[in-house]
Amino acid sequence: MKKYRTHKLSDSDVRHAKPREKLYKLSDGGNLACYVLTTGTKSWRYSYRFNGDQKTFTIGNYPNVSLSEARKQREIAKDKVKAGIDPSLEKQTLRHTSNETSFQAIAEEWYTSNVDGWSKEHSTRVHSYLKRDVYPVLGRMEITTITAPTIIMIVKTVADRGAIDAAKRVKGFVQQVFDYALVHSQVDRNPAKDINLSLILPKTVKRHFAAITSPEKIGELLTAIEGYSGSLSVKAALRLSPLLFLRPTELREAEWSEIDLKRPSGRSAKRRKLP
Q: pLDDT digits over 31-65, tens only?
A: 999 999 888 889 999 999 999 899 999 888 898 88
Q: 101 φ, ψ to 5°?
A: -120, 25
pTM for this one? 0.47
Q: Is 34 helix (H, G, I), strand (E, B) or coil?
A: strand
- Is it the case that residue 249 has pLDDT exceeding 50? yes
Per-residue pLDDT reduced to its tens digit, 126-144: 999 999 999 999 988 889 9
Distance from the first to the final alpha carbon of the chain: 78
Percent of the chain with pLDDT over 70: 88
Per-residue pLDDT reduced to its tens digit, 178-231: 999 998 888 889 999 989 998 888 776 566 556 777 888 878 888 888 888 878
Say if CB 190 and CB 179 are below 8 A apart. Answer: yes
Q: Give the per-residue pLDDT at 204.
A: 63
Separation of alpha carbons 60 and 62, rounded Å = 7
Q: 95 φ, ψ to 5°?
A: -65, -40
Per-residue pLDDT reduced to its tens digit, 165-186: 999 999 999 999 999 999 888 8
